[in-house]
Amino acid sequence: MKSALTILKEQFSYFYLVRRLSVYELRSLTSGNYLGMAWEIINPAIQIMIYWFVFGFGIRQREPVGDIPYLAWMFAGILAWFFINQAVMKSAKSIHTKIKMLAKMNFPMSVIPSYVIFAQLYPHLVLLAIGVIILQFMGFPISIYYLQLPIYMIGLLAFLFSLSLIMSTLTTIIRDVQMALQSVMRMLLYLSPILWPPTSLPESVQPFMMLNPFYYIIEGYRYSLLGEGWYFLENPIYTAYFVGITALTLMVGSYLHLKFRSHFIDYL
Using CB atoms within 10 Å of the CB of residue 37, give its burial: 0 to 12 exposed, 13 to 18 middle, 19+ buried.
middle
Long-range contacts of 54-59 (CB under 8 A, 24+ apart): 55/195, 55/196, 59/196
Q: Is the pLDDT of residue 165 over 70?
A: yes
Mean predicted confidence (pLDDT) in 193-200: 76
The pLDDT-based confidence of 104 (bands split at 50, 70, 90) is: low
pLDDT at residue number 33? 60
Q: What share of the chain is helix, strand, coil (3-state, %, to 5)?
A: 80, 0, 20
Give pTM, 2 decimals. Answer: 0.88
- pLDDT at site 261: 79
Model confidence at 238, pLDDT cuts 50, 70, 90, reads very high
**More confident position, 140 or 30:** 140
pLDDT of residue 146: 93
Q: What percent of the chain has pLDDT over 70?
A: 87
Whole domain around residue 83: which residue ranges? 2-267
Mean pLDDT of 52-74: 69
pLDDT of the residue at 54: 65
Rounded (10°) angle between helices 111-137 and 94-102: 120
What's the confidence (pLDDT) of residue 52? 63
Ramachandran bin of 227, using left for φ above 0, alpha for ψ from -120 to 50, beta for the remaining angles: left
State the number of CA atoms in the 13 A half-sphere of 15 facing the CB: 5
Determine the Cα–Cα distance for residues 11 and 6; give it in Å rounded to an integer. 9
The proportion of the chain whose per-residue pLDDT surpasses 90, expressed as a percent, equals 24
pLDDT at residue number 31: 63
> Distance between CA atoms of 112 and 38, rounded to whole angstroms?
25
pLDDT for the residue 240: 95
Mean pLDDT of the chain: 82
Residues in Cβ contact with 255 at an 8 Å cutoff, skipping those fewer than 6 apart: 3, 4
The pLDDT value recorded for residue 249 is 94
Angle ∠(170,154,242) on CA atoms, nearest 5? 70
Each residue's pLDDT tens digit, 22-40: 777 777 766 666 555 666 6
Q: Determine the average pLDDT of the residues in 151-172.
A: 92
Burial 94-128 (b: 16+ CB within 10 A, else e): bbbbbbeeeeeeeebbbbbbbbbbbbbbebbeebb
| Count of structural domains within the chain | 1
CA angle centred on 177, ends 125 and 12, rounded to 5°: 45
Count of H helices and E strands in the chain?
12, 0
Higher pLDDT among residues 23 and 77, named by residue: 77
Helix axes 15-30, 2-13, angle to 10 degrees: 70
- Higher confidence at residue 148 or residue 204? 148
**Residues 11/12/17/21 CA torsion (nearest 10 deg):** 50
